[in-house]
């Protein structure tokens, strides 16, 4: 039986707590990478790739949803439903997001953006983490009205200290 989505719900569960914890742990991961990972491949690889992407953004969500929750990959939003529409929307948003990335990069001086754009285009960690993990956990706990708002706040939160305050609001939107 398919569970009916609720506009509002208030059932804070163990998976909601784990999602919240992983969102808060992304702040130091993102901060360390932004401030030290640009100069050190080891810091970038260990902190951002292993701790951030692999552990916090992929393994914990997959373990909780698949093994603890028994939901399978659909528990992380990975389905073939509306696949073509999703790909088209993703391409449009990636193009729009790349302009913001270029604006932020000019603060760092002469930076080669091509590797960063390719990296962000090929990895799905942020999409999986924010929309597949945080938003779907928050929707089960708080309903589909508050879930995207809370997910956007988490997304903004872990960019604090890495982005200028004026650049945080567009991340929320």
Q: What is the pLDDT of residues 65-76, one digit of tens each?
A: 998 888 888 888
pLDDT at 1: 47
**Cα–Cα distance, 38 to 58 (Å, whole number):** 22
Residue 97, φ and ψ in degrees, nearest 5: -65, -30
Tens digit of pLDDT for each residue in 4-49? 889 999 988 899 999 999 999 999 998 998 888 878 888 888 888 8
Tens digit of pLDDT for each residue in 106-159? 776 676 767 666 666 666 678 889 988 999 999 999 999 999 999 999 999 989
Nearest to 25 by CA among 137, 147, 166, 157: 157
Quote the pTM value.
0.75
pLDDT at 170: 87
Nearest to 133 by CA among 53, 45, 48: 53
3-state SS record for 75-124:
HHCCCCCCHHHHHHHHHHHHHHHHHHHHHHHHHHCCCCHHHHHHHHHHCC
**Cα–Cα distance, 49 to 56 (Å, whole number):** 10
């Amino acid at each position: 039986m398919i569970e009916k989505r609720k506009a509002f719900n208030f059932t804070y569960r163990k998976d909601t707590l784990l999602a919240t914890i992983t969102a808060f742990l992304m702040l130091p991961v993102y901060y360390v990478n932004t401030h030290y990972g640009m100069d050190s491949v080891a810091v970038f690889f260990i902190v951002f790739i292993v701790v951030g992407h692999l552990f916090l953004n992929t393994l914990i969500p997959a373990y909780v949803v698949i093994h603890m929750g028994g939901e399978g990959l659909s528990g992380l939003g990975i389905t073939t439903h509306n696949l073509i529409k999703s790909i088209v929307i993703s391409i449009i948003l990636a193009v729009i997001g790349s302009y913001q990335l270029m604006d932020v990069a000019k603060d760092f001086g002469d930076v080669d953006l091509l590797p960063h754009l390719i990296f962000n285009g090929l990895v799905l960690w942020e999409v999986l983490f924010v929309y597949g993990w945080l938003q779907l956990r928050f929707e089960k706990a708080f309903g589909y009205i508050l879930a995207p708002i809370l997910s956007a706040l988490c997304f903004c939160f872990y960019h604090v200290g890495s982005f200028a305050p004026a650049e945080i609001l567009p991340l929320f939107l």
